[in-house]
Amino acid sequence: DGGITQSPKYLFRKEGQNVTLSCEQNLNHDAMYWYRQDPGQGLRLIYYSQIVNDFQKGDIAEGYSVSREKKESFPLTVTSAQKNPTAFYLCASWTGGNVRNGYTFGSGTRLTVV
């Protein structure tokens, strides 16, 4: 079945470490997105990519970096510059063109700073 796979499901980071969250999709979708979700809050856009080898900052990009070398993959790196990284991270994709087709979300990665 087609879908989005995020890994790992749980991730623990020590202070000062960079960590990378994986997002892979086999839906042949052009656009991919990373959102951050904090308890009791909605989803906030970190980065997005509408085409391979191109990506743009979202609303809360500071302390994060991404790459889009392949259509299927959009990894997110949480750097040591992100001061409050503990959150639930969600990756999404859609076909591109008309957003009315709707997003498909992965199952998320819960990141905790220890």
Q: What residue ranges in 38-78 does DSSP mark as E strands?
A: 43-51, 54-57, 64-66, 76-78
Positive/negative CA dihedral, 95, 97, 103, 109 = positive
- For the bound state, the minimum distance from the C-beta of residue 76 to another protein, rounded and expressed in Å, comes to 15
Whether the CB-CB separation of 111 and 85 falls below 8 Å is answered with yes
| 103/106 Cα distance (integer angstroms) | 10
48 binds another protein (CB under 8 A): yes
Residue type, 81: A
Interaction of residue 90 with another protein, rule CB under 8 A: yes
Instruction: Find the binder of another protein among 11, 27, 31, 52 (CB under 8 A).
Output: 31
Measured from the CB atom, the residue of 63 and 108 that comes closer to another protein is 108
Give kind and range of the element (H or E) at residue 90: strand 87-94
Among 18, 56, 81, 112, binds another protein (CB under 8 A): 56
Residue type, 52: V
Q: Considering the complex, what minimum distance in angstroms separates the CB of residue 102 from another protein?
A: 5
In the complex, the smallest distance separating the C-beta of residue 15 from another protein, rounded to whole angstroms, is 25
Binding site for another protein (CB under 8 A): 4, 6, 31, 33, 35, 40-45, 48, 50, 56, 58-59, 90, 92, 98-100, 102-103, 105-108, 110
